Structures are given as structure tokens and as C-alpha cells.
């Protein structure tokens, strides 16, 4: 049954996703609002498809709504949350690694959407560019979404935070809301996806202006609050 669920999901989701994704650069020609609408359609479809075919549901804990934009710092265990958080958080500006931004056409469309490109080398010039793009998003009233560990990790893995998070936190001077996610338990890197419930736990807001070590420690602990070995 699990194999059949996965097969149906792949057929339906990817078949319908192809025209939606191909329409992305076309919609980008008409500006950011058009591409955001296109993204909304895709993320809502993803939510429906994962629930309908894979039996993956969500449980959300501790959501907070603050006045003004924030930095959302989230655990990253599967592709699942990259789309779901975009839907749940009302199209935040997502921090995206340079490799994705370099994809022809798609990378251009992602920049139109407002993705913030991060250089893994964390050079001074790259950090200034990232902060500049983040400030532009804040000026539009958009929050920032970053996966501060820098990459997708398996359940139980807790790597240190990348330098990009500290740079954004220091320069933007806005609160951080950490998000613990256990998606890797149902959406493994290898093997079939399993029915179950993904928990999104929104932690207590971390105020701006804390020393780097304290801010990083609080974020790291909060995003790993649900973490267990698979």
C-alpha cells in the first residue's frame, strides 16, 4: 500500500507540477506579484497531494504573530517543508544556496520572487549582498525564511549553524522565530515516504540584539527540539 501511495503521488504531483513550474519564468515577466500567485498555487497543490496520496498530515504548535517581519529559522530534513513553510508563512523571502540560483531561467525567476542568495564561502562581499537583498524584502513587509544549518539533514543530525544566520541576525536587527520540524521521519532522503504527521513547532521569539553565541545557542536548541534518530 505504501508503494502504491508513493507511485500515485509521483504520477499526480510531478505531472501537474511540470506545467506549473514551467509557467514560473513566464509569470515572472509580469513581476513579483504574478510569480507569488503562481507559487501559492503550487504550494497549495503540494499540500493537497501529500495529504491525499501519501497520508502526510500536519500538527502545528506554538505559532506566534508579531508586529512586522521576522527571521524564521527552521530545521530542514526534507523537501516537504520548503514548500509547506512558503505556504504557511505567506510567501517569505527564502534564503537559497548559490547552486540553485545558478539554474538557468529558474534561478532568474527565483530572484524575481525575492529569494535571497547565500554563498557557502561566506565572504564579506557575499554577506553584504545577502543582507542587502534581505533588507529589500523587509522593506516590502516580507519576513525572511532561513534554514540556518545550511543543508538538509537526517533525523538526529544537529550540525552547527552556518555563518549566514549570524550575519543576518546581526545586521537586520529583528526577532527570530525558530521552527522545529520532524519531517525526516516520514519523508526520508532514501526510500518510500511514509504516512504520518509532521510537527511544526514554533518556538518562543528570540529578541534582536543578543550576543551571537547566545542567539545561535537558543536557535540551535529550539530547531532541534523535536529531533530524534530515525
Residue 224: phi, psi to the nearest 5? -100, 15
User: In the block, which residue shows the cell 522593506?
Assistant: 139
| Torsion over CA: 47, 22, 24, 180 (sign) | positive
When pLDDT is averaged across residues 199-218 and rounded to a whole number, the result is 96
Question: How many Cβ atoms from other residues are within 10 Å of residue 194's Cβ?
Answer: 15
Establish if 173 belongs to a structural domain. yes
- Express as a percent the part of the chain with pLDDT over 90: 55
50-54, 83-87, 96-100, 154-158: lowest mean pLDDT where? Answer: 96-100
Domain count, the chain: 1
Bigger pLDDT: 197 vs 189? 197
**Quick check: 35 pLDDT over 90?**
no
Query: Most confidently modeled of 108-122, 134-148, 209-223?
Result: 209-223
The answer to whether position 87 is within a domain reads yes
To the nearest 10°, report the CA torsion of 99, 100, 102, 106.
Answer: 170
| The pLDDT of residue 230 is above 60 | no
Residue closest to 58 by CA, chosen among 202, 214, 162, 188: 202
Contact assessment for residue 164 and residue 133, using Cβ atoms and an 8 Å cutoff: no
Long-range contacts of the stretch 29-36 (C-beta < 8 A, 24+): 31/112, 32/112, 32/113, 32/114, 35/109, 35/112, 35/113, 36/91, 36/113
For 58-69, what is each residue's pLDDT tens digit? 999 997 677 789
Separation in Å, CA 121 to CA 94, 161, 221: 18, 14, 25
Q: What is the pLDDT of residues 7-30, one digit of tens each?
A: 999 999 999 988 887 777 777 677
- Please check whether residue 129 lies inside any domain of the structure: yes
Cα 39 to Cα 123: distance, rounded to the nearest angstrom: 31
Question: Is 15 domain-assigned?
Answer: no
Averaged over 115-133, what is the pLDDT?
76
Residue 84 placed within a domain: yes
Q: Is residue 22 part of a domain?
A: no
Burial of 211 from C-beta contacts in 10 A (0-12 / 13-18 / 19+) = exposed
Q: How far is CA 123 from the centre of its chain?
A: 23
Instruction: Find the domain containing 211 and state its range.
Output: 57-223
Whole-prediction pTM:
0.89
CATH code, domain with 181: 3.40.1130.10
Asked if the structure places residue 3 within a domain, the reply is no
User: Is the pLDDT higher at 93 or at 34?
Assistant: 93
Q: Which residues on adjacent β-strands are paired with residue 56?
A: 196
Say if 157 falls within a structural domain.
Answer: yes
Amino acid at each position: 500500500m505504501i508503494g502504491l501511495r508513493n507511485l500515485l503521488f509521483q504520477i499526480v504531483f510531478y505531472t501537474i507540477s511540470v506545467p506549473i513550474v514551467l509557467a514560473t519564468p513566464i509569470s515572472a515577466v509580469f513581476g513579483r506579484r504574478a510569480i507569488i500567485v503562481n507559487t501559492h498555487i503550487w504550494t497549495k497543490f503540494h499540500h493537497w497531494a501529500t495529504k491525499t496520496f501519501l497520508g502526510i498530515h500536519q500538527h502545528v504548535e506554538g505559532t506566534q504573530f508579531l508586529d512586522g517581519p521576522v527571521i524564521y529559522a527552521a530545521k530542514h530534513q526534507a523537501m516537504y517543508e520548503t514548500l509547506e513553510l512558503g505556504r504557511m508563512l505567506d510567501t517569505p523571502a527564502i534564503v537559497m544556496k548559490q547552486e540553485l540560483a545558478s539554474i538557468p531561467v529558474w534561478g532568474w525567476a527565483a530572484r524575481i520572487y525575492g529569494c535571497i542568495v547565500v554563498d557557502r564561502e561566506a565572504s564579506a562581499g557575499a554577506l553584504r549582498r545577502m543582507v542587502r537583498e534581505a533588507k529589500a524584502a523587509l522593506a516590502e513587509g516580507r519576513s525572511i525564511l532561513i534554514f540556518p544549518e545550511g543543508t538538509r539533514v537526517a533525523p538526529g543530525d544537529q550540525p552547527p549553524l552556518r555563518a549566514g544566520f549570524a550575519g543576518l541576525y546581526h545586521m537586520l536587527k529583528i526577532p527570530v522565530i525558530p521552527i522545529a520540524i520532524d519531517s525526516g521521519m516520514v519523508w526520508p532522503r532514501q526510500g518510500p515516504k511514509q504516512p504520518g504527521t509532521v510537527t511544526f513547532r514554533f518556538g518562543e521569539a528570540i529578541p534582536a540584539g543578543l550576543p551571537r553565541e547566545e542567539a545561535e545557542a537558543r536557535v540551535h536548541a529550539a530547531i532541534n527540539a523535536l529531533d530524534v534518530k530515525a
